[in-house]
Structure 1
Amino acid sequence: MSIQWTLIAGFLYAEIAVVLLLVLPIASPTRWQKLFKSRFLQSLSNQASIYFVILLGTLVLFLMDALREMRKYSKTDHTDVHPSLNLELQENMRMFRAQRNFYISGFALFLSLVIRRLVILISTQATLLAQNEAAMRQAQSATTTARSLLSQRTIGESAQNDSNEAHDKQVSELKKQIKELQVKNLELENNLVKEKKDKEAIKSQADSLAKEYDRLTNEHAKLTQSSSDKKSD
């Protein structure tokens, strides 16, 4: 095997190892994302598209060369009646090498596309996982805030209910005191009316006694005057 095809075969084996590492559950997408964003790979990512195009172009050239060799040796004429065995073996060996080179370059080209696609998918999955984790944190924070607000509202409502109960209790006590005061006021009014009636009765008795005293005084005066008139006669 020539040097260039040895290098392509080594590159193919390296691609197979990379695909196995990316496919097997060795590391999580987040760790792969951290590796992809390392300083070394970030320094290469600026020119990664150029390197990838050059690699694909090189592999395509080797693939075309292998196809050319396959077509060249497949058109060899073996119509001779007694072909040389050594020549036939050499042509078969060259055909085998052309087919081997074709498969090596073809699989190397195919795995290059597969690795690129796997890296894109792993990066996308890691981004989605990070977004999902951030969304879950926001949802948990919103849930915690809602629960705290609900608990504060419940505490406020309970405090308001307690204050309302205390206010209702005070109002009921005040109503009770007002009723008691109304009863006492009614009793006082009744006592006052009774005293007014007693006062009026005493006043009427005093008036009648004064009239009777005046009448008796007049009669006494008349009797005294009549007795004095009889003595003078």
Structure 2
Amino acid sequence: MSLQWTIVASFLYAEIAVVLLLTLPIASPSRWQKFFRSKFLAYISAQATIYFLVLIGVLVLCLLDAIREMQKYSNVESSDHQHLDAEMQGNMRLFRAQRNFYISGFALFLLIVIRRLVQMISQLATLLAQAEANFRQAQSASVAAKTLLQQQGNDDVKSKKELEDLKSQISTLERELSKERKDKEAVKSQAESLNKEYDRLAEEHSKLQKKITVGGGDKK
């Protein structure tokens, strides 16, 4: 294997290892996102699009070269007079071209898969963070609502107690007012009786005075 295809094969093996790391449950999406946002990767991600396009271009060129080699050695027609070594050498070159085609094709495919996996893990970590924030906000709102309802319940109980106290005071005042009215009526009735008694006594006194006056006149 030439140096070119050795590098491509090594890159393919590295891609397989990266895909396994990203797909296996080794770390949570939030940890992967922290790793992706590290200083080193943040420095690389600034030119990530350029690196990605360069790798895509290199792998596409390798793939096209492998396809060209496959077409070149697959179109060779074997003849009866052809030497056996030459035929075996042609088949070996065709096999190498096919091997290089699969290596470059899988490397190109896994490069796109890795990019998509990184994007999906980052999106998942963002969604999980948003969900956790929304859950905490909902918990805070629930606690605040419970506290408000409890305070409102306490206020209602307090208002009920105050209302009952007011009703009790009103009933007490009504009883006292009724008692005062009865006492007033009793005093009024007693005053009327006294007035009547006074009138009767005054009338009797007047009659007695008349009798005394009449009796004194007769004696004279």
TM range (shorter): over 0.9
Q: Which residue of 2 aligns with 1:224?
A: none
Letter in 2 for 1:161: K
Distance 1:154 1:212 in 2: 85
Q: Which residue of 2 aligns with 1:176?
A: 175
Equivalent runs, 1:14-163 vs 2, <5 Å: 14-78=14-78, 80-163=79-162
Deviation at 1:82, TM superposition (A): 3.0
Q: Which residue of 1 aligns with 2:199?
A: 200
Distance 2:51 2:82 in 1: 48
Q: Which residue of 2 aligns with 1:227?
A: none
Equivalent position SS for 1:177: helix
Distance 1:64 1:191 in 2: 131
Letter in 2 for 1:19: V
Distance 1:36 1:195 in 2: 110
Distance 1:95 1:89 in 2: 10
Deviation at 1:15, TM superposition (A): 0.2
Letter in 1 for 2:81: H
How many residues are matched? 220
Q: Please identify the structure whose Cα radius of gyration is greater.
A: 1
Distance 1:187 1:88 in 2: 144
Deviation at 1:189, TM superposition (A): 0.9
Q: Which residue of 2 aligns with 1:190?
A: 189
Letter in 2 for 1:125: L
Distance 1:197 1:107 in 2: 130
- The percentage of counterpart residues that share the same residue type is 49
Letter in 2 for 1:36: F
TM-score, normalising length: structure 1: 0.93
Deviation at 1:141, TM superposition (A): 1.1
Equivalent position SS for 2:17: helix
Q: CA RMSD in A?
A: 0.8
TM-score, normalising length: structure 2: 0.98
Deviation at 1:83, TM superposition (A): 2.1
Q: Which residue of 2 aligns with 1:218?
A: 217
Distance 2:14 2:135 in 1: 39
Q: Which residue of 2 aligns with 1:225?
A: none
Deviation at 1:120, TM superposition (A): 0.6
Distance 2:68 2:180 in 1: 123
Runs of 4+ in 1 over 6 A off after TM superposition: none
Letter in 2 for 1:41: L
Deviation at 1:181, TM superposition (A): 1.0
Deviation at 1:187, TM superposition (A): 1.0
Deviation at 1:4, TM superposition (A): 1.1
